[in-house]
Amino acid sequence: MSKKIFNFGHKTYVMGILNVTPDSFSNGSKFFSFEKAVAHAIKMEKDGADIIDIGGESTRPGAESLSKNEELKRIIPVIEELVDKISIPISIDTNKADVAMKALDLGASMINDITALQGDKKLVNIVAKYDIPICLMHMKGNPRNMQQNPVYDDVVSEIMSFLKERAEYAIFNDIKKENIIIDPGLGFGKRTGRGIEDNCEILNRLAEFKNLGFPILIGPSRKTFIGNVCGINQQLSVTDRLEGSLAAACVAVMNGADIVRVHDVRETRRCVDLVDCIIR
């Protein structure tokens, strides 16, 4: 199934973010209603998205965990409606095995797990059984505490070591190597402000992650570090971070990213198409 979704190396894939949550950091409850969520996914496909990533649980800094039943209640109706209305694959942003299995049975094609298979021990078996791509992301701590004084000696080498170990764990548990995608987790337990910008260092050194031998997904869109770096006298608001998000996406692609996960699909599609023409 993964080969039907991606042919890495030939183009950059744009993953459109669909947060079906009442408290997303980027758009609040803008797409919390069923009708708005479905309409937005259809629009993102028209705008050039290659895949839609649906999430029912907020992972913003300080967010509390969500029950399995509530997560299913939020995302399942949207998936059921979209499988016949869009032609691009659906990814599910979850770390719960039962949620993943239900979504895959309905037609989802990929799992995006911010816990890198550490959240629900049963998820690794689901991914192996369904033979679908999974993105393993680095996060220091969990959404509730990840931005509470994270510390690194060498942020890139430490993240690489973590992702290498999680990929080896996945392969040991029968997930095919070609189904593994890695994500260094911009904004998830990374230092920003006060002169330390882990996220910028990760983007600058992103090519080093290629040494692990896996495709790279990167998600800079509207993150706090963009507000910190691009704001002149004060942090830019979430809605005022488009230009910085596009710049980060372009740098990421030039340094080896295969998938960019974004809110602003049309603008990002145009940017990465040009970068692809230059570098590929």
Which among 53, 66, 76 has a CA at the least distance from the CA of 23?
66
Active site residues: 223, 261
Domain harbouring 166, CATH code = 3.20.20.20
145 pLDDT more than 80: no
Residues 6 or more apart from 35 whose CB is under 8 A from it? none
Tell me the mean pLDDT in the region 13-20: 96
| Portion of the chain with pLDDT greater than 90, in percent | 82
| Portion of the chain with pLDDT greater than 70, in percent | 92
Report the alpha-carbon distance of residue 183 to residue 257 in Å, rounded: 9
pLDDT in tens, 61-119: 766 778 999 999 999 999 999 999 999 999 999 999 999 999 999 999 999 999 999 99
pTM of the predicted protein model? 0.93
pLDDT in tens, 209-242: 999 999 999 999 999 999 999 998 899 999 999 9
Q: Which domain holds residue 248?
A: 2-279
16 pLDDT more than 90: yes
Number of independent structural domains in the chain? 1
